[in-house]
Amino acid sequence: MKFKDKIVLITGGAAGIGKATALRFSEEGAQVVICDLNETVGQETISLLGEKASFYSVNVASREDVQQWVDTVVEKLGRIDVLVNNAGVLRDGQLVKFKEGQLIGQLTEFDFDLVVSINLKGVFNCTQAVVPVMIKQGGGVILNASSIVGLDGNFGQTNYVATKSGVIGMTKVWARELGKYGIRVNAVAPGFTATDMITAMPEKVLEGMRSHTPRGRLGEPRDIANAYAFLASDDASFITGETLRVDGGIVVGT
C-alpha cells in the first residue's frame, strides 16, 4: 500500500493507459481522482476504483475548467500528492503530400492546434494549477505522458511529436524549478501500447509494430501504469527531470 491515503489526480483517466494507471494507484491504496471528457466511460471506470474515487468532466485545454477542478479537489480532499498528466489526442497527417508534382494534402492548422492545445497546453494548465497546492503542502510528484516518438520522431506526426518533445522539455525545466519545494517531475515515454485506439488498427500494421519491438509484443496499459507507480513512489525519491522509456526496446523507423 505505497500510496495509502495519498490523493492522485489522473487526466484522461477514463480509458486506456489512464484507466490502467488509476487502477494501479488504487491497488496501492491511493484515493484516485480522474478527469476526462467521456463521462459515460469515466463513471464506468470509477465503479472499478472503490467508493472514495471520483470523476470530473474536464477539458484540460481550458484553464478555467482545470482551475475549477483543482480548486474543487483541494476543497474536498485537502491536498494533491500526485498529478499524472495523461490526457492526449492524435490527429496524424503529413506536413505536405505530393503526387505527380502536385500538392494533394497537408496537415491542417486545426489538427495542429487541437493536438497542441490538449497534449502540450493541457499539461501546462494542469501542472500550473496543481503546483501551488504542492508547494504549500511541502511537496508532491508530477508525471507527464510523453512518447517514444517525442524522442525519436515519427512519420506523419508533426503535431504529436512536437507536443511529446515539448513535454520532455517542460519536464526538465520544472524539475529544476520545483526541486527546492520537494516536488519531483518526470516523464514516461510509452512505445506502441495495446489501447483500444491501437488494437483497432489493421493486423498488418500491428504485426509491423510487434516486429520492430525486441520484446516481440505490444505494451500493455499496465506496463505504463507500473512505470508511473514506480516514479511516484518513494523508491524513486532521487529521480527527477528524467524521461523513462517503456517501449520493449523498440526502434522507431520511417
* Number of domains present in the structure of the chain: 1
Which pLDDT tens digit goes with each residue over 134-160?
999 999 999 999 999 999 998 999 999
pLDDT of 83 reads 98
Would 82 be classed as within a structural domain? yes
Percent of the chain scored above 70 by pLDDT?
Answer: 98
Would 250 be classed as within a structural domain? no
Alpha-carbon distances, residue 108 vs 20, 91, 112, 114, 149 (angstroms): 32, 9, 6, 10, 20
Would 1 be classed as within a structural domain? no
pLDDT higher for 209 or 157? 157
Which pLDDT tens digit goes with each residue over 38-76?
999 999 999 999 889 999 999 999 999 999 999 999 999
Q: Is 181 among the residues known to form the active site?
A: no
* Residue 234, domain extent: 7-245
- Nearest-CA neighbor of 250 among 148, 145, 150? 148
Would 253 be classed as within a structural domain? no
Would 184 be classed as within a structural domain? yes
**pTM score:** 0.94
Task: Decide if pLDDT at 216 tops 90.
Answer: no
Q: 3-state secondary structure string, 10-60?
A: EECCCCHHHHHHHHHHHHCCCEEEEEECCHHHHHHHHCCCCCCCEEEECCC
Would 2 be classed as within a structural domain? no
pLDDT higher for 80 or 207? 80
